[in-house]
Amino acid sequence: MDTAQQTRTMGVADLDAFVADNYRRLVGLLVLRAGDRHAAEELAQESLIKLVKHGEQVRVMDNPWAWLATVAINQSRSRWRRLLVAERAVNRLPISTESGPDQEGLTELLLVVAELPERQRTALLLRHHAHLSVKETAAAMGCAEGTVKSLTSRAVIRLRRDLNEELDDAND
Amino acid sequence: MPTIDDLLNTANPAEAIPPSTEQLRGIIGRRRARRRQAIVTGTAVVVALLVVGVAGLVGSGNGFVDEQQIDAVGEKGLDEGLRPDADGASDDDPSDTDADEAVAVETAESTDGSESGGQESETSPSATRWFLVPPGPTELRFISDQHLDLDTVQPGGRLGLITLTTDVSDPVTAGLAVVYHLEDTGLSVFRGRNVTVDGRVVRVESDPADDSVSAFVESGPGIFAVIGSSLAEEQAIALALAAELVDGQTDLSDRVPPGLRVVQPPDPQATDHSSNIVWGPENSRIELWMRPAPIEEEVLNRRYAGAPESVAVRATDGVYVPFSPGQDPAMLLWEEDGYTFTLTTTDDRIPVESEVLVETANALVRLDQPALVERFDSPFMRRQAATAQSWLEATPLPAGFDPTPLIHGIPQSELQLSSHIDWFLECTWFAEWEASILTDDGPRRAAAETVLADRPAWPVTVVHLGIVDGINRSNDRLERTPTHAKYIAEQQRLMTTIVTLDQLAELMTQYGCAFEVPE
């Protein structure tokens, strides 16, 4: 059962399970978005706090993961505005992941993703990491579905070029 | 062959431990407690808050310079002693004040001459850095060299505050207390026990989880409340009663608990690029944000925002974004003097019509900086210019250093001041480094790298890290523990990790530096 299908069947009492099932995926999305594991976990926590606050509304949504992913992207987008003054000193980490089975490959991936233009990166991550549909991604980004396709396509082309890697087109 | 999804999923950290919803609810609860404190703190800033200039940081060292001087500094760099490559000319061209005087005239007209902004502009036409504050009554009272402001809320409510600490040099970790007076708020919303003191019933609430204590006393139309950390219950009770007396214009000087004195606390919600103020009664507080940038298209295009509408506000074209149930509060945005101002409600469940926000925005008045600083009368603010200058004098500055971006509001604590200057210098030197690479200027690049590598030893950085470490030791707000050594290691790693201009630009953007990532 994929994440989207799983979350569509989320019951009222399953908020903890939903968080547990999606946390790593959420952090991964934000690592790719922010390029920083520490920031990603911080943003994930902020996103989940919103999830808990809006729990009643989220529970009845068709796709709560889409909602959470959108919140997370918005959180990361305006992160710099919300960083507390005192926290700035400890958030000055360059791109880092600190762990993972393929540290070198992951770092390279993060650097390449980080170099994507803002909207291409957002479209790519929402489509191919958060697994939102084109329609959901368009709604999250506030743009037309055609724009999502265009942005995603250009991002994928650039990923292939910069990573110099053969990638399956199945998810295009 | 991996798919794109497979590739991206390698970023999912297998060892990440998800928080429980119970933990998240605990965070929400603690934040609510702090938010009550922050709301009051934000109101404190009525006095110094939307100060649009820290020009005094690089001014004469004993106060704030006016915009005329800022312009001169912006063009020519710092004072002779602070700018290694400036030409040393003193360029106070009187023509530079033309625009300022125009602003002053507008200020005087827009406030009907009733506010000190307009009055000040007549006596001091060059002092035109201005501030938006709620209209009166906004009174400051000074008691035994202590600071107190009351009656600062508009519209529809009153709110005063007292802030206390046992250690002015480290206000974040000291026992902070805020006292405020809320109208139309029932005691029933608070749980705790009643204590009778001198015939007055005081409600006391303690929260061991975050070491906070609250005291509430009902009086006349509203409630006086004290919310403090590291504050004994009896102190909170005494303060609540003192606040009640103060509202009756009773001298507070003999009612402050022993060992405490009134100071201005740091604003825990302030960010590097914006300032905010909150005012209004409990259930309809209005929040004003300002940013030194145009209105963000992004804000207007948010998924859940209602359709933006054009509105006339403060003699310009603004944008009203309607309330969207359960998602976004109503917002009013307009640009003024290079800043984007946003008025919104602090509770996104409350619909607010555009007329209300426009009326509120139009009621905001300008105060000029000297008047505001004078009224604020904070010991820290009085010395911050000299403090900042001492840090800058001891730090290498790029040629043509422009202090204009320092203008983000008046820091109210050493923490804010050090953080802001540290961050600004860092961005400045990153920009210098970037420019040296773009111009293929080897010596310039080497100089920038040398300075950046030495950043942990910059006086302002040392001070700032000391404060941050102090906060961490107290476990006040930062749960991570960045030690000085770790910070130094990070800086050294930074210089070897960031290898391309795109990466640098991205990093600088993450820091909030005003640079764009190239498409």
Is A27 at the interface with chain B, CB within 8 A?
yes
Residue of chain B nearest A76, judged by CA positions: B510
Residue of chain A nearest B275, judged by CA positions: A81
Beta bridge partners, B319, equal: B310, B333
Q: What is the pLDDT along chain B (519 residues), one digit of tens a residue?
A: 677 788 788 778 877 788 877 777 766 655 544 333 333 333 222 222 222 222 222 232 222 222 211 112 222 222 222 222 222 222 222 222 222 222 222 222 222 222 222 222 222 222 233 445 544 333 222 222 222 222 222 222 233 344 444 333 333 333 444 555 454 433 434 457 778 776 777 777 776 554 556 777 765 545 566 655 555 677 667 666 665 554 433 344 444 444 444 433 333 333 333 333 444 443 345 666 666 567 766 556 554 556 788 999 999 999 888 766 545 567 888 888 777 787 776 554 555 678 878 887 887 767 665 555 555 555 666 677 777 788 888 888 877 776 554 544 455 566 667 777 777 787 778 778 777 877 888 898 888 888 887 877 888 888 877 766 665 554 433 333 444 555 556 555 655 665 566 666 555 655 555 443 333
- Decide if A98 contacts B6 (C-beta within 8 A): no
Three-state secondary structure string covering B389-412? HHHHHCCCCCCCCCCHHHCCCCCC
Q: How many CB atoms lie within 10 A of CB B135?
A: 15
Q: What residues 64-83 of chain A have any CB closer than 8 A to a CB of chain B?
A: 70, 74, 77, 79-83
Amino acid A146: pLDDT: 74
Q: What are phi and psi of B219, to 5 degrees?
A: -150, 120
Answer whether B13 sits within 8 Å of A54, measured CB to CB: no
Buried (b) or exposed (e) across B157-168, using 16+ Cβ within 10 A?
A: bbbbbbbbbbee
For range A87-111, the mean pLDDT: 49
Residue of chain B nearest A101, judged by CA positions: B10
User: Distance (Å) from the C-alpha of residue B484 to the closest C-alpha of chain A?
Assistant: 10
Answer whether A92 sits within 8 Å of B478, measured CB to CB: no
Higher per-residue confidence, A167 vs B284? A167
Amino acid B313: pLDDT: 94
Q: Which two tokens stand for residue A109?
A: 């991936």
Answer whether A32 sits within 8 Å of B478, measured CB to CB: no
Residues in chain A: 172
* ipTM greater than cut 0.90: no
User: Distance (Å) from the C-alpha of residue A168 to the closest C-alpha of chain B?
Assistant: 5
Contacts with B502 (C-beta within 8 Å, 6 or more apart), sequence order: A114, A115, B517, B518
Dist. CA A26–CA A71, nearest whole Å: 11
Higher per-residue confidence, A69 vs A157? A69
Q: Which two tokens stand for residue A2?
A: 């994929």
Answer whether B10 sits within 8 Å of A53, measured CB to CB: no
Answer whether B9 sits within 8 Å of A129, measured CB to CB: yes
Residue type, A39: A
The single-letter DSSP state of residue A35 is S
* pLDDT band at residue A52 using 50, 70 and 90 as cut-offs: confident
Answer whether A36 sits within 8 Å of B510, measured CB to CB: yes
Amino acid B312: pLDDT: 95
* pLDDT band at residue A58 using 50, 70 and 90 as cut-offs: confident
Residue of chain B nearest A169, judged by CA positions: B3
Answer whether B13 sits within 8 Å of A100, measured CB to CB: yes
User: Distance (Å) from the C-alpha of residue A15 to the closest C-alpha of chain B?
Assistant: 7
Q: At what angle do helices B21-44 and A15-34 cross, to 10 degrees?
A: 60
- Decide if B329 contacts B303 (C-beta within 8 A): no
Amino acid A74: pLDDT: 73
> Which secondary-structure segment (H or E) carries B163?
strand B163-165
User: In this complex, which of A35, A85, A171 lies closest to B416 when CB atoms are compared?
Assistant: A85
User: Distance (Å) from the C-alpha of residue A5 to the closest C-alpha of chain B?
Assistant: 17
Collapse the DSSP code of B324 into the 3-class scheme (helix H, G, I; strand E, B; otherwise coil) and give the result: strand
Beta bridge partners, B147, equal: B142
Q: Which two tokens stand for residue B54?
A: 């820290």
Amino acid B499: pLDDT: 55
Dist. CA B144–CA B350, nearest whole Å: 41
Residues in chain B: 519
Dist. CA A124–CA B382, nearest whole Å: 51
User: Residues of B with CB below 8 A from A52's CB?
Assistant: 21, 24-25, 28
> Which of B191, B250, B189, B181 is CA-nearest to residue B218?
B181
Residue of chain A nearest B495, judged by CA positions: A94
CB contacts < 8 A, A to B, total: 201
- Decide if B182 contacts B281 (C-beta within 8 A): yes
Question: Which parts of B256-328 fold into alpha helices (H)?
Answer: 297-300
Answer whether A48 sits within 8 Å of B19, measured CB to CB: yes
Is A10 at the interface with chain B, CB within 8 A?
no
Residue B386 CA: distances (Å) to CA of B64, B416, B419: 10, 15, 16
Collapse the DSSP code of B126 into the 3-class scheme (helix H, G, I; strand E, B; otherwise coil) and give the result: coil
Answer whether A84 sits within 8 Å of B268, measured CB to CB: yes
Amino acid A133: pLDDT: 85
User: Residues of B with CB below 8 A from A77's CB?
Assistant: 298
The dihedral built from the CA positions of residue B96, B101, B106 and B108, taken in this order, carries a sign that is: positive
Residue of chain B nearest A54, judged by CA positions: B326
Q: At what angle do helices A118-128 and A134-141 cross, to 10 degrees?
A: 140
> Which of B119, B139, B121, B137 is CA-nearest to residue B129?
B121
- Decide if B475 contacts B211 (C-beta within 8 A): no
Collapse the DSSP code of B143 into the 3-class scheme (helix H, G, I; strand E, B; otherwise coil) and give the result: strand
Amino acid A36: pLDDT: 67
Q: Which two tokens stand for residue B206?
A: 């303690």
Dist. CA B294–CA B340, nearest whole Å: 6
Residue B310 CA: distances (Å) to CA of A120, B322, B335, B344, B352: 30, 11, 13, 16, 16
> Which secondary-structure segment (H or E) carries B336?
strand B331-336
User: In this complex, which of A20, A53, A80 lies closest to B512 when CB atoms are compared?
Assistant: A80
Radius of gyration for chain A, computed over Cα atoms and rounded to the nearest angstrom: 16
Collapse the DSSP code of B307 into the 3-class scheme (helix H, G, I; strand E, B; otherwise coil) and give the result: coil
Dist. CA B143–CA B125, nearest whole Å: 31
Contacts with A113 (C-beta within 8 Å, 6 or more apart), sequence order: A32, A35, A121, A124, A125, A159, B8
Q: What residues 125-154 of chain A have any CB closer than 8 A to a CB of chain B?
A: 125, 128-129, 131, 139-142
User: Distance (Å) from the C-alpha of residue A103 to the closest C-alpha of chain B?
Assistant: 10
The single-letter DSSP state of residue A86 is G
pLDDT at A18 over 70: yes
Collapse the DSSP code of B141 into the 3-class scheme (helix H, G, I; strand E, B; otherwise coil) and give the result: strand
> Which of B508, B509, B395 is CA-nearest to residue B455?
B395
> Which of B98, B103, B243, B235 is CA-nearest to residue B159?
B243
Half-sphere exposure of B400 (CA within 13 A, CB side): 3
Burial, B468: exposed, middle or buried (Cβ in 10 Å; 0-12, 13-18, 19+)?
Answer: buried
